[in-house]
Structure 1
Amino acid sequence: MADRSSSPNGGQHAAQPSAAADHHHFFVWREFLWGAAAGAFGEGMMHPVDTVKTRIQSQAILGGSQNQKSVLQMVRSVWSADGFRGFYRGIAPGVTGSLATGATYFGFIESTKKWIEVSNPDLGGHWSHFIAGALGDTLGSFVYVPCEVMKQRMQVQGTKLSWRSVVQKDRVTLKSNAPMYGYYNGMFQAGSLIWKEQGFRGLYAGYWSTLARDVPFAGLMVMFYEALKDMMEYSKQMWVSDSNFHLSSSVEGLMLGGLAGGFSAYLTTPLDVIKTRLQVQGSAARYNGWFDAIRSIWRVEGAKGMFRGSVPRITWYIPASALTFMAVEFLRDHFNEELDSNNVQEVSTLSIDKTGSLTEVA
């Protein structure tokens, strides 16, 4: 066994920075992995609610702004026209997009928020969390936006029969007299047809409106989540006298993640309405860009139109965010501890002798 103190240059300590760097690098990649799994889990569980929200927000394009359906009316409409499968139209691109967003969101947050706090101490902790969340979501948007376009178009179509009836009844207002896009049988067909008909611009329809919605949403959700965690910790110190009281990270993530998602979802609903309509319209160019959509929606539908779909949006994001944060905290607690213990055990069995070669420590 090599003597731990035998190296005059602190050979034992020379091995630690490398091991620590490798461990930190591995830790960051674990956050990307846990985030991807959690994002896909939340999307898969709550996709039917998202379908109802998308249809409610796109009614003005497909059926005019008069006599728009409520949440319960839309649920009955989807069920009567398309059955159970109608609620799960577009789930493949939805889960794919959530995999990318969840990975970059949580991975980028955990790998950068401490760096932002240290390099810019004047920002404060909450602003650092806001910036980290916003940047992470922006990075995921390159994959997320095309998936969102495919998902939402498939959601509003329902079955082939119901989509054909929408087009044949001539309820779609077209400025350019262009035909509405065809029916999509699946994710890959949707992507190829959109690319063939509209190219890069079609797949990234509403890209800037998506960023305008998701950047503040992502930043607000992280900021609210971290603020609620601080409030929870302060409340436990002030009001809980039992030192043995412990709330698991998974339960805390479930509760606080749901609240953070709900607050953020409501505040960004107008941005979500604009994004949805720009992505759903396809060749039916009802709105000529982001600002034209704002003016048109406000002029025709007022504040009610800007917040259309807020109830199903909040209904989706509270449980989806709760499940996502719960899943991330669960994966961190159960897998990180096991991986960390294995990593520590491996590092503790290595030392460096005077010649600089690694030897095993008993």
Structure 2
Amino acid sequence: MARCVRFGILCLTWLIFLLPINQALPHSFEAAGSTKKKIPVHLRSQMKHAVVTKRAHSFGLVEYSSLALVGAISGGLAGAVTDMVMYPIEMIKTRMQTVGLDGLTLDKPSESLQVLFAGSSLALLCSPIYYGLYFAVYEPCKEFVEQRAGKENESLATLIACLLGTFSMFFVRVPCEVVKTRCMTGFDESPRAAVSRLYGKEGVRGFFTGYWGLALVEFPFNVVEMMLYERLRSLWTRRVSRGKELHVWETCIVAAVADGIASAITNPFDVIKARLMSQAGEEQRKYGGGAVGALLQLISEEGYHGLMAGCLARVLWMTVGGVIFWLVLEESQKVMRRLGPRDPSSSPLSF
């Protein structure tokens, strides 16, 4: 009974932090130092309607397609660069959460390097696909909602676009994560061996083992990360850079804060995801009952500290990886914006 109460308190604490995070930041910052003159209500509504109508009519299928293309290229490039650079840290994090650090010793550096980069070819192949797919959905959806709901509802647009983007990328990412996790934990020697084993034992269904475990990680992480990043970037642009584009070091600060906080909050769900995916294709599974069953079993066997296994490695991985990812994403989008039309109002790349 006491364990159930403590677990309920843990979940409630996480929800209390996650749900109001959308509202806590903007109001606290915007309330301080706001010197804008008040506009009559009837004029404000007319101005809002005129701006939204003008923006809605200025975008069409071609513009949304351009946003999707820019998002796909920049997101795919950022994902590929980040995953390859951060792959060894992810390997260490995954092993700490599952089978331990066996095989990683300083006495045999060549063998340790082989272990650290096991399955990296799969990451290089799949990362551009699912990250590109995510931002190909995220960018046009965010613009679509903002045009119809107004710029003041940017948080709502970010939330909707983030959920749709995450859902769309799952069809590619889940099979890739299952195969990659089995290679990282040493259950299979190569991606090819993992694919052959999974398909031979469970068919296509085996590639989606741990789907809900990954959903528990990705949905809250992406929501927290994207909302924090978008909000912090917007606040930094207004308060610090005074409307100018962020410099490289400013993007690094915003990305590090957003990804560091998001990764620490969602670490328990990442542990569950890693445990479920590592047993894909095994006849005797240690964790049954899906994500909830695995969570309860993990708490009963290892206690609540088991939920934070590999947390430091995950925060380090996600913070450094987030800085690399957002730098590549932002800079590649700047390059593509420069290649677009000179007039920002007519450019489909100006988002």
Are the equivalent residues in 1 in contact too, given 2:268–2:308 (CA < 8 A)? Answer: yes
* Amino acid across the alignment from 1:94: A
Report how far residue 269 of structure 1 moved. 0.5
Q: Provide TM-score, normalisation by structure 1.
A: 0.71
Q: How far apart in 2 are the matches of 1:313 and 1:143?
A: 22
Which residue of structure 2 aligns with residue 32 of structure 1? 72
- Displacement of 1:307: 1.0
- CA deviation map 1:271-316 (0-9, x unaligned): 1100100000131311111111111111111121011111111111
Equivalent residue letter for 1:82:
E
Measure how far apart 1:200 and its partner are: 1.7
Q: Note if contact 2:119-2:180 (Cα within 8 Å) is conserved in structure 1.
A: yes
Tell me the distance in 1 between the aligned counterparts of 2:204 and 2:107. Answer: 31
* Distance in 2 separating the partners of 1:227 and 1:122: 13
Using the alignment, how far apart are the partners of 1:321 and 1:20 within structure 2?
32
Any idea what the Cα deviations from partners look like across 1:144-200, whole Å, max 9, x if unmatched? 11111111111111xxxxxxxxxxxxxxxxxxxxxxx6x333x23421321112212
Q: 1:18: how far off?
A: 10
Q: Distance in 1 between matches of 2:196 and 2:344?
A: 45
Cα distance in 2 for residues equivalent to 1:133 and 1:331:
20
Identify the residue that residue 200 of structure 2 maps to in structure 1.
Answer: 196
Residue 237 of structure 2 contacts residue 245 of structure 2 at CA under 8 Å; is this kept in 1?
A: no
The correspondence for 1:56, drawn from 69, 77, 96, is 96
Q: Extract unaligned runs of 5+ from structure 2.
A: 1-56
- 2:223 alignment partner in structure 1: 219
Q: Kindly tell me: are residues 335 and 230 of structure 1, through their superposed partners in 2, closer, same or farther at Cα, counting changes over 3 Å?
A: closer
Distance across 1 between alignment mates of 2:272 and 2:119: 20
Deviations 1:129-155 (A, max 9, x none): 123122212211111111111111111
Q: How many residues align?
A: 289
Which residues of structure 1 form unaligned runs of 5+?
Answer: 1-16, 60-67, 158-180, 347-362
> Where does 1:156-171 land on structure 2 (aligned, <5 Å)?
156-157=185-186
User: Which residue of structure 2 aligns with residue 138 of structure 1?
Assistant: 167
Task: Read off the aligned partner of 2:332 and give its amino acid letter.
Answer: L
Q: 2:189 aligns with which of 184, 187, 191?
A: 184
Retained in 2: the 8 A contact 1:205–1:279?
A: yes
For residue 316 of structure 2, what is the aligned residue in structure 1? Answer: 315
Change (3 A) 1:227 1:343: closer
Alpha-carbon spacing, 1:53–1:19, altered in 2? closer, same or farther (3 Å): closer
CA separation in 1, counterparts of 2:220 and 2:152? 17
| Aligned equivalent of 2:295 | 294
Q: Indicate conservation of the 8 Å contact 1:48/1:88, yes or no.
A: yes
- Displacement of 1:28 in angstroms is 2.2
Kept in 1, the 8 Å contact 2:70–2:336? The answer is no
Q: Is the 8 A contact 2:67 2:139 kept in 1?
A: no
Report the TM-score when normalising by structure 2. 0.73
Q: CA, structure 1 residues 135+22, in 2 after alignment: closer, same or farther (shift >3 Å)?
A: closer
**Contact 2:264–2:311 (8 Å) recurs in 1:** yes
The match for 1:47 among 79, 87, 91 is 87
Q: Distance in 1 between matches of 2:175 and 2:233?
A: 34
Q: Does 1:235 align with 2:233?
A: no
Aligned counterpart, 2:41 = none
Matches within 5 A, 1:1-362: 21-59=61-99, 76=105, 82-120=111-149, 124-157=153-186, 183-185=188-190, 187-236=191-240, 248-282=246-280, 283=282, 284-288=284-288, 289-341=290-342
1:111–1:93 CA distance, 2 compared to 1 (3 A): same
2: distance between equivalents of 1:195 and 1:77? 36
Contact 2:103 2:112 in 1 (8 A): no
Q: Distance in 2 between matches of 1:305 and 1:319?
A: 24
Q: Of the two, which has the highest radius of gyration?
A: 1
- Does structure 2 retain, via aligned residues, the 8 Å contact 1:145–1:210? yes
1-structure distance, mates of 2:297, 2:233? 40
Contact 1:89-1:154 within 8 A present in 2 as well: yes
Point out the more displaced range, 74-83 or 128-137.
74-83
TM-aligned CA distance change 1:122 to 1:303, over 3 Å? farther
Q: What's the secondary structure of 1:124's corresponding residue?
A: helix
Residue aligning to 2:25: none
Q: Distance in 2 between matches of 1:326 and 1:154?
A: 29
CA distance in 2, matches of 1:78, 1:36: 37
Q: Which of the pair has the greater relative contact order for Cα pairs under 8 Å at 6+ separation?
A: 1
Looking at structure 1, the residues matched to 252 and 88 of structure 2 have their Cα atoms a distance apart, in angstroms, of: 20
Deviation of the 1:24 alpha carbon: 4.2
Counterparts of 2:85 and 2:322, CA distance in 1? 11
Distance change in 2, residues 1:24/1:83 (3 Å) = same
